[in-house]
Structure 1
């Protein structure tokens, strides 16, 4: 076979292209340039608005490893909330939390909720997913007919608080809890539909809860929560609900939410909170350890 090369024809563009000048190489260089610009933008952002761990002020990190380790100790915490007791229930509704509300955890929660650190949602979400997975036990162990759907219901915020924050932090928690609950129910072989429903509203603004005792908190919250007019609780005879809130203190808020949902025929089988105030008998040091 004659393999004579026709030198009269110019080489193809691909053959003439020197190494490192192809389309793939151009894409690689463009990707490197974009990454360099992103690093420069982050560095500039840190100069303009420095990022630090809200728990201990370690610079250049959203949440340092030490403060992160103070979260994630999923535990039941309803025993420290006296306002959760109801006369028609033999035991208070089970509540899971990710950490005690004290020390660095308290600073992290306050920064995330009220000090503009919405970026911490990404850091907190895995702990809420773990708590949601743990709360699946309340759904699978609930008496009565197995429900085809579970509603994750965030505690309502006042309109004033929502406007001041520009967001509804508890709704962000509820989405993470719902993801974990789905996983937990799937692991238990009971995978009903899980849906986040903003079913509740504040009927009237409660006074500031800070500094109030258990009885005063209960009176302050009594009658403040109601069902939204267009709340969609599904077509179950008694919808199964899991409540979500940011901080558990006496349980007055969760109790008001439970009363509103129960009045609409729903069953509240449990709750998940980001953090729970430890009772006086279990004081927590400023570093997060037991006193």
Structure 2
């Protein structure tokens, strides 16, 4: 809660803040006190923190990734918009061709935190591709709300993150889904859902019969090294591909690590991914977990690119 001055002396400043969002834009990632700290050491630490923030703003100026407000990565208004987008998680599998049968029956139930557009899409893109890790707290909160809406606070499930490709991991230096789940675990937002990091990427391209067939069983990043493709991007991205191309590209591209099959066998698993498009990636992840003996009960994503018309329907009314 932001404390606003009540003295008439601040009337001009309130007018400026109302006119210009760049003036005094607070950082939502920082906690703000209701009153003055009674401890002298606490007041000194707060003063030093404010001075360091001002120095950082001078040396490394930043802007809100959504509206361009100065001195903050994500301003209060845009953070509020992101939370509003994710206020009502919804079922999203009906708009993903790979997740439903020809009769419209869902193969996997998927709960999305919000639609992939506007501030939510901008935050997710900046988090994944521009290294804006400070927005991870807002995104992790939205993802945690979707997990709770999907499970209805029921225990006995485990979260299985969908792995990123080797080329994307080398380019970013981290896996977005794993980092968001780490934030959730550190904040104890999903204490009844342990995380099982068991999936890995393997080769996702056809190999001719005879010769180098042993590459089929290698992880994808090792295949890149063997074939001399490391550092070339790998061509593993799916952006711009259609439904059929996506399905062919990810077919057979995942497996449960052989040393962790026992962790999955017989467990009720919830897949976790960042963006849902055609559903090909989630379908392949479900196949890999099912082949290892796991029971895939559904999936949770942060954003859906094709939100259904009934997106206002709360997912809590239909648990996984």
Partner of 1:44: 55
Q: Counterpart of 1:18?
A: none
2:162 paired residue among 143, 151, 155: 155
Q: Which deviates further from its counterpart, 158-167 or 173-182?
A: 173-182
- Provide TM-score, normalisation by structure 1: 0.72
Is residue 2:142 matched to residue 1:127?
yes
1:92 to 1:66, Cα distance in 2 relative to 1, 3 A: farther
Could you tell me which residue of structure 2 aligns to residue 55 of structure 1?
66
Aligned to 1:259: 287
Q: Residue deviations 1:27-68, cap 9 Å, x none? A: 943332222111111111122222332222222333234433
CA shift digits 1:132-183 (9 cap, x unpaired): 111104x96xxxxxxx74220000012332232222211123346675555x
2:260 to 220, 228, 231: 231
* Deviations 1:235-270, CA, capped at 9 Å, x for gaps: 8x6210001111111111111100000001111111
The unaligned stretches of length 5 or more in structure 1 are 1-26, 141-147, 183-192, 283-291
Matched residue count: 236
SS at match of 1:196: coil
| Residue number in structure 2 paired with 1:93 | 108
Equivalents in 2 of 1:159, 1:91: separation in Å?
30
Q: What TM-score comes out, normalization by structure 2 length? A: 0.66
Q: Residue 257 of structure 1: SS of its match in structure 2?
A: helix
> Larger radius of gyration, structure 1 or 2?
1
Quote the Cα distance in structure 2 between the aligned partners of 1:32 and 1:174.
34
CA gap of 1:31–1:114, structure 2 versus 1, over 3 A, is: same
1:202-213 to structure 2, matched below 5 A, reads 202-204=201-203, 205=220, 207-213=236-242
User: Is contact 1:151–1:233 with CA below 8 Å preserved after alignment?
Assistant: no
> 2:175 aligned with 1:168, yes or no?
yes
CA RMSD of aligned residues (A): 2.8
Shift of 1:93: 1.2
